């Protein structure tokens, strides 16, 4: 029983580490590209510095809160079901450059 618990704990830690180790470009590719590559429903296009400038002026924490609650056509959490706040920050930083 202890061995099974240890194996389960290791598996959970491994999964947790892999989920939180996402990079901005990876997050964008899997969850953001559909809307942010074309500016669907007013979404700021990825790598369009002018479109991102006024949003970034609000502060990264405000942008993360907006992603988490949703805005316009973007549902709460965007299209990322396993993103952490840090993941959202990385995706925003990737798209805004």
Report yes or no on 2 lying in a domain. Answer: no
| pLDDT tens figures, 67-76 | 999 999 999 9
Q: Which domain holds residue 41?
A: 23-95
Structure-block tokens of residue 77:
């959490």
Report yes or no on 16 lying in a domain. Answer: no
| pLDDT, position 21 | 63
| pLDDT, position 2 | 52
Report yes or no on 36 lying in a domain. Answer: yes
Report yes or no on 52 lying in a domain. Answer: yes
| pLDDT, position 12 | 42
CATH number assigned to the domain comprising residue 36: 1.10.760.10
* pTM: predicted TM-score of the whole model, two decimal places: 0.77
Contact 27, 80 (CB under 8 A): yes
At 13, the pLDDT band (50, 70, 90 cuts) reads very low
| pLDDT, position 64 | 97
In the predicted structure, residue 57 carries a pLDDT above the cut 90: yes
Q: How many domains does the chain have?
A: 1
Cα–Cα distance for residue pair 80/94, rounded to 1 Å = 15
What does DSSP assign to residue 14?
H
């Amino acid at each position: 029983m202890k061995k099974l618990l240890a194996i389960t704990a290791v598996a959970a830690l491994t999964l947790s580490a892999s989920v939180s180790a996402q990079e901005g470009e990876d997050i964008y590719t899997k969850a953001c590209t559909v809307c942010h590559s074309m500016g669907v429903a007013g979404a700021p296009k990825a790598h369009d510095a002018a479109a991102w400038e006024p949003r970034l002026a609000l502060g990264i924490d405000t942008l993360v809160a907006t992603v988490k609650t949703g805005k316009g056509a973007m549902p709460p959490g965007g299209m990322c079901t396993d993103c952490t706040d840090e993941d959202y920050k990385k995706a925003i930083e990737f798209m805004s450059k």
